[in-house]
């Protein structure tokens, strides 16, 4: 039997979980009909949800033995959720997908066939449109990929998603990168392996609201820049050199004007502008250095990427304890 582990990070997904479970059941049945030697496990990662997500997962785990879940002690972020899922998945193949149905489960049979053929180690989806997204957000997203691919040696395909069907070999390679500051889009590309991109139109959420605000996406983009490129450090050095050259040229110009033309500079406006310009430039460069230093500081702490508060095994233990208590009372 070949097992497929479906990893689903969840954060406040109580509304969409029943819809997702219904859809994934249909797809699992379809795959089993085509490949009878295939088994499944559904591994949900509750990333500190504040709604009824955990209760829904407990219900699913009690009703279906294929359902497993890991509940974090607090919100650690989607990156931690994906890492926890990959680390605890036991399948020969591992799928990472969202619960909001923006990653259509209907693609799984096609993705499985691509990977099963042996031609590819990973099958993933790539959005060819951003229908339903704010235009400003779409514009920034496209610019991010263009800039990222210019300043980084790791190519990230525009529109590529975290929805991936991977072999165990690729998953183990990803898990070997145990960095605290994670940017999975870059990690997926960095480890390499043969990847099949399946193009599709953007799909809106089936229910609930997205927790990804513009500010969160912007911070995530910065994480990518700092994680897979040292270009910002080179930029700060370049700006420093340009500033020195400009200052040198200005000094030469002032000397020539004073000696040959007898012009004297009053200096106050020029001095204020120069101070503000150089001060801002220094703070900007210091900020870039500070970001890299902060990332290094967090890595050296060696803190765990996530902490577990509860799993489906706790439900089994509680049931066994209750049964033993009932037997003792009967005796």
Q: What is the pLDDT of residues 168-177, one digit of tens each?
A: 999 999 898 8
If one looks up domain 2-228 in CATH, what number appears? Answer: 3.90.550.10
Look at 237 and 63; give whichever has higher pLDDT: 63
235, 151, 223: which is closest to 187 by C-alpha?
223
Residue-wise pLDDT for 87-112, tens only, equals: 999 889 999 988 888 888 888 999 99
Alpha helices, DSSP H only, in the chain?
17-34, 53-63, 78-88, 108-116, 135-151, 168-175, 184-190, 214-228, 231-261, 268-301, 312-330
Residue-wise pLDDT for 175-227, tens only, equals: 988 888 788 777 888 888 888 888 887 666 555 565 555 566 666 666 666 66
Look at 131 and 118; give whichever has higher pLDDT: 118
How far is 108 from 101, CA to CA, in rounded Å? Answer: 12
Look at 243 and 306; give whichever has higher pLDDT: 306
Q: According to the model, what pLDDT value does residue 86 have?
A: 92
pLDDT band for 6, please (50, 70, 90 cuts). Answer: very high
pTM higher than 0.85: no
Burial profile 307-323: b = 16 or more Cβ within 10 angstroms, e = fewer: eeebbbeeeeeeeeeee
The residue extents of the domains of the chain are 2-228, 231-301
Mean predicted confidence (pLDDT) in 158-171:
85
CA-to-CA dists, residue 286 to 131, 280, 294, 329, angstroms? 39, 10, 12, 69
Residue-wise pLDDT for 277-316, tens only, equals: 777 777 777 777 777 777 777 778 788 888 988 888 887 6
How far is 231 from 237, CA to CA, in rounded Å? Answer: 10
CA-to-CA dists, residue 311 to 38, 57, 73, 244, angstroms? 24, 10, 11, 59
């Amino acid at each position: 039997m070949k097992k497929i582990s479906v990893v689903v990070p969840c954060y406040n997904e109580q509304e969409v979980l029943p819809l997702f479970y219904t859809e994934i059941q249909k797809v699992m049945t379809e795959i089993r009909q085509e490949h009878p030697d295939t088994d499944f496990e559904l591994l949900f990662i509750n990333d500190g949800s504040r709604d009824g997500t955990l209760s829904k997962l407990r219900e699913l785990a009690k009703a279906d033995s294929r359902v497993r879940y890991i509940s974090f002690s607090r919100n650690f972020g989607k990156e931690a959720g994906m890492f926890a899922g990959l680390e605890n998945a036991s399948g020969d193949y591992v799928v990472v997908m969202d619960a909001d149905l923006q990653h259509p489960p209907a693609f799984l049979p096609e993705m499985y066939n691509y990977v099963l053929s042996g031609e590819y180690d990973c099958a993933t989806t790539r959005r060819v449109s951003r229908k339903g997204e704010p235009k400003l957000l779409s514009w920034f997203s496209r610019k991010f990929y263009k800039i990222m691919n210019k300043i980084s040696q790791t190519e990230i395909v525009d529109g590529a998603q975290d929805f991936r069907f991977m072999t165990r070999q690729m998953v183990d390679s990803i898990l070997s990168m145990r960095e605290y500051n994670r940017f999975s889009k870059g990690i997926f590309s960095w480890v390499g392996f043969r990847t099949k991109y399946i193009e599709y139109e953007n799909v809106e959420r089936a229910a609930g609201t997205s927790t990804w605000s513009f500010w969160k996406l912007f911070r995530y983009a910065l994480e990518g820049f700092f994680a897979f490129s040292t270009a910002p450090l080179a930029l700060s050095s370049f700006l420093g050199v340009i500033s020195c050259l400009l200052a040198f040229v200005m000094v030469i110009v002032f000397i020539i004007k004073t000696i040959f033309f007898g012009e004297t500079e009053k200096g106050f406006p020029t001095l204020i502008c120069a101070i503000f310009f150089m001060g801002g430039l220094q703070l900007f460069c210091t900020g870039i250095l500070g970001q890299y230093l902060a990332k290094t500081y967090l890595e050296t702490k060696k803190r765990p990427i996530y902490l577990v508060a509860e799993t489906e095994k706790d439900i089994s233990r509680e049931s066994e304890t209750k049964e033993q208590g009932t037997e003792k009372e009967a005796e």
